[in-house]
Structure 1
Amino acid sequence: MVSVSIAEEGSPLMHWSFLPPRQVKIGDAAAFTGSTPRAIRHYHEIGLLPEPARGGDGRRRYGYEDMIRLLWVRRMADAGIALDDIRDACATSVTPAGADSGDGIADLLERLEETLAEQEAELRRQRTVVQRMRTEGSRIGLLSDFVTGRLKNLPDGSLRPADLDTLLVTERIFGPLGAAVQATRFVVLATHPALRERSDHVDDAERALDDGVAVDDPRVAQVAAERHAFESALHAVIEESGLDQNDDALFDAWDALHPPAADHDEDGTDSRFGRREMSAFEAVGKMPYDFSPARLRCMELWLELLAQDAPAS
């Protein structure tokens, strides 16, 4: 019997007595521990909680020790510990509750702290991306800061959605460094209207080489020659402006920020996020381009012209 005295101002002393239950049903257990009957049944199914005694009606009855274990399970689950890990840790602990009772819980907490630190780092990265999107625009802000740093101070509207699409694909295949180098191309096009117009002309000519054009059509070789002439002119402007020297500095900056193999295991897995990065060759093979045979032949001819320009070794 428990007796509680309650005194209220202006009222006589009152006595209230009650007898606590020795066992409770699953609904009461769930209400007290902040859980649900369904969750408690799941705990039993996975072996996290032993089956309690059952009453004459065949329903589970929970006593003091059952409730203590339920409370500890709920606290650990609320802390982010997986149920399977709680079960394994409690199984190796001296006491069923597992509170400061063995190395199992300590190891769990250490792993959980490492996981939370990784999640915090990922949240900071995501927040940085969102802030960059708000500052620089939703499309360009999705590129890495190593790429967007090359595109600062350009005239408004000088970068086209197609330019950003190309950089997005390049970054996926060759990484931020490859996209940052390619960004030099769009910096020149954004600041040289005549070159941009010439680029548009060659792009339109290549798109016109659809499935209705034969691979030996004279237009294929003509467009290849136009592409070669344009790329040569573009490269000349890049050299004259000194942007190619900035590209060299990019490699040095990248190497300083990303020591070789610092974040990747031997199999190419990124240890920061637990996922395997595709090689450039794999990525190219998974990116579809609806190019006609004539357009592919045009690209081959252009590469042959480019090879002829290379100095003899």
Structure 2
Amino acid sequence: MRIGELAALLGVSTRTVRHYHHQGVLPEPPRRANGYREYGMRDAVALARVRRLVELGLSLEEARDVIAEDRSRELPEILAEIDADLAAQEADIRRRRARLAEMLARAEDGTLGPDDTASPDLVDFLRVVDVPASKSAAWDRDLLVLVDSVSTADDRQRTFAMLDTLAADPQAAALGQEFYRRLDELADAEPDDPRVPELAAAMADYSVRHVLHDLRPGPGWNPEQMEPFLEGLSPAQAEVVRQATRLITQVGHEQ
């Protein structure tokens, strides 16, 4: 098949396929005698793999390494891996739809108010919609819900005013993305990785200076309340958050 047929099959544009070729992510087949490049099953599988890896938050450079490793593997092995991934996605969608059905039933019987800000309900809903590509960003979103649930009314108002200010600051947004990137790089690391304390100190310093400088821990705040929110992080990522939290809490107590 030609490049247009391959792109249509995977639901992307031919420009995307050419971009992957240019970046060295997707191998480009040689031209045939007729002057056209012909794509086969292995090319389609490779493109599907690239799309899935990008969807999971990997960079093109990381995806390129995975696809390069695939070239030495047999096609049935790769297809079996894709099948296992699809099965996991199917199970996850079933769980999310079941949770959404519960929330729908509660909304219909009046036990889930449209303006409720209780942490468990918001976290469940945000996990159902599953918007962020970055796992670290998804965790941070859940943490903001936790802050909302344990803060005093005055602190809550200042928190979200602060978030509005940060959202309007391109440099602050860029720094936040940099923190997410550095956290994502620790996805396969151990808690004693030397990058952990460095990143924890940087996040704590930024939080104290620009985020929490006008806030104080509410009477219901306990750092251990964060533990359930760390379950989806890797050991190293969770350790970053614990260390950063300890540093932030220490500063709060000293002030």
Q: TM-score range by the shorter chain?
A: 0.3 to 0.5
Structure-1-length-normalised TM-score: 0.32
More helix by share: 2
More strand by share: 1
